[in-house]
Structure 1
Amino acid sequence: MTAARRTLTPTDLAPYARTLGHTLDGVTRLRGGSKKGVYRLTFRDRSTAVAYVWSPDEDLWDAGPADPRDPFSHASGLDLFTAAAHRLAAAGVRAPRLLHADPSHTHLPADVALVEDLPGGTLEDLLDGDAAVETGVLERTAALLDTLHACTGPRFGKVAVVDNGGSSYGGSCEAVVAERALSDLDELPARDPRAAAAHPQLAEAIGALAAQVQPRTGPPTLIHGELGPDHVRVTPDGDLALIDIEGLMYFDVEWEHVFLRQRFGRHYDALRTDDTVGLDEARLRLYRLATHLSLVAGPLRLLDVGDFHDPEFMRGIAEHHLGLALSFLESAS
């Protein structure tokens, strides 16, 4: 297990304030950021910015080396962030504006980015509140999805790899998802007797669902990859911006919609846009089971190696999705 994260101090972050021509007055660690440190910097003139800090000390996953060609490899790092920020800007989708990027490790043993501090809360903060407010912000989120998903890439993979001409991972989106689902499944028997008992049936279900997916000839779609309401910031004037964008990739749009449906729940219907018309039901079924398995293995893996602040929350996610994976077998029988 990794040691508890040390919160960076004004002394640690003052040099980055100076790159923006400011004097640092205070530092606050912000909620979230299991793969990076996220800090609000308050300057002497009361303006603010946000610092993203990528270092092993800030990454609770202890993921080790990853193949950047794999669209599902550990989505953490300055290169991934800057490539995603540039791609979203070109697509007309807002993300926190990049103010300064420092890969030099001069002041900290870490890559650091300074981005604009967007006032307001997240979309998650506004849901289950005033119905009129919900309707308006969900309509704007649906429009954002239309804009995002109208963009395509030459092949599937992380934006940072594809847009820089990197080599392809090979295979197909559905093959990668099936492979990842089997890998996640193989982690579970040692962790839970219910998963051990159901392992053969779940492995068979993954193979059967993958076999039902027909090859796709169209280009892959630009997707966020983990787009929950907590990853959409809403400014006081109602503008929307995507955060935690390092996983931005070109992939099957069905992967995005499975995650949207999981995270938005009863609000998902409001997000149905033009791109939902042609969704492939066979892909959706495979990706749904794969997502459940990922959301069992991932949280349990994090609890094994990390210093997550709310372990019961993570255990709850794993328990919920294990139940859904097992009920998937019942519904398929």
Structure 2
Amino acid sequence: MTRDESVAGRGFLRADDVRDLVAEQFGSARRLTAVDRLTGGSKKGVYRLRLDDRTTVILYVWAAAENFWPASPTVPDDPFTDASGADLFAISHAALTAANVRVPRLLMLDRDGRYLPSDIALVEDVGDLTLEALLARDPVAAATPLSALGDCLRRMHTTLGAHYGKLATITHGATSQTRSAEDVVADRALGHLDAVATRDARLADAHDRIAAHVRHLRGAVTARRAYGLVHGELGPDHVFVTPDNEPALIDIEGLTYFDVEWEHAWLQMRFGDAYPALRPVELDPHRLELYRYAQVLSLIEGPLRIAATDFPNRRWMLDLAEWNIAKALAPL
């Protein structure tokens, strides 16, 4: 994680905002020396708090000023929308810990506004080394945490549930499912197509052919009702390598029970040549192909939507959308 620059008008945290938090959590003998806002967060703020004994912790802040994403249409049974918030984080953290999956240790969670007018969490600082950076710098050294990540994923993907959905929904017994998981994905993909067709002439021209391709892929998928625990958007940038060479998962609020092919479509895309080292569970190739194409459409809609805001890395989002527009048109 690297230090982020402020965005005008966003009101990000400063040292004075968290001095009471530090004093109460770490005692008067330890002082706060710096607060660094880290890059990468688009739904929550991520800050490194530096103390005068040279220790550090990470602060998560779920505040409106930290969320760059504009609203989008949602449906109740889509488990991949609105994956943010302290409640989701707490439930996901507990579930992954129970599955023996390494995540930064939770030190404190405040949902009562005791320190800030927003939900916050203090977690262990696992350092700055991502698996993505290690794979690029030293693939041999990355082999051990990559293999360990594969072990973690198999534990997650064999932790099964009878219903799909966010963990909070299932935990509170509020599941209400009228569609299959594959229908959720197909309908979600068609909704993303409708949205992006208004923003790009190429997609508008190909709209009907893309929609037909989605329906063709959906038609090849047979029914199944077994759901594993999936992260949802796990790339090597969402895995930190600890000083003990362990993989630690971050951005876990989107944890859900769903078809494991959804996870592996994403993993194949994000890990590339390193993917086979994860030693995946057995997958349904037709379901995998539908989910892969649906994610392409998602990676057009999301980046174009956030690029219309004051998100600081707008060019990167536009490039990502362009890359996936080419992938969406290729099968036609």
TM-score by length of 2: 0.92
Superposed CA offset, 1:18-55 (max 9, x none): 34124322211011110000001112322221110011
1:11 aligns with 2:16: yes
1:260 aligns with 2:267: yes
1:220 aligns with 2:227: yes
Superposed CA offset, 1:174-206 (max 9, x none): 011011101100011221111011000011111
User: Please, which runs of 5 or more residues in structure 1 have no aligned partner?
Assistant: none
2:307 corresponding residue in structure 1: 303
The answer to whether the 8 A contact 1:297-1:318 is kept is yes
Report deviation, 1:85.
0.3
2:323 to 314, 320, 325: 320
Cα distance change of structure 1 residues 196 and 66 upon mapping to structure 2, 3 Å threshold: closer
Superposed CA offset, 1:246-286 (max 9, x none): 0000000000000001111121122233x1x2x11111111
1:171 corresponding residue in structure 2: 179
The letter for the 2-side match of 1:5 is R
* CA distance in structure 2 between the aligned counterparts of 1:227 and 1:4, rounded to whole angstroms: 31
1:52 to 50, 60, 70: 60
**Structure 2 counterparts to residues 102-113 of structure 1, below 5 A:** 102-113=110-121
1:115 to 101, 104, 123: 123
2:4 corresponding residue in structure 1: none
1:234 aligns with 2:237: no
The answer to whether the 8 A contact 1:289-1:325 is kept is yes
The answer to whether the 8 A contact 2:126-2:240 is kept is yes
1:145 corresponding residue in structure 2: 153
The letter for the 1-side match of 2:242 is T
**Structure 2 counterparts to residues 45-124 of structure 1, below 5 A:** 45-63=53-71, 69-124=77-132
Name the % identity. 47
1:155 aligns with 2:158: no
1:190 to 198, 216, 223: 198
The answer to whether the 8 A contact 2:70-2:305 is kept is no
Cα distance change of structure 1 residues 4 and 213 upon mapping to structure 2, 3 Å threshold: farther
The answer to whether the 8 A contact 2:101-2:152 is kept is yes
1:28 corresponding residue in structure 2: 36
2:288 to 284, 291, 311: 284
User: Please, which runs of 5 or more residues in structure 2 have no aligned partner?
Assistant: 1-6
The answer to whether the 8 A contact 2:240-2:247 is kept is yes
The answer to whether the 8 A contact 1:121-1:233 is kept is yes
1:128 corresponding residue in structure 2: 136
Secondary structure (helix, strand or coil) at the match of 1:53 reads strand
The answer to whether the 8 A contact 1:289-1:328 is kept is no
The letter for the 1-side match of 2:290 is L
TM-score by length of 1: 0.92
How many residues are treated as equivalent by the alignment? Answer: 323
* CA distance in structure 2 between the aligned counterparts of 1:129 and 1:39, rounded to whole angstroms: 26
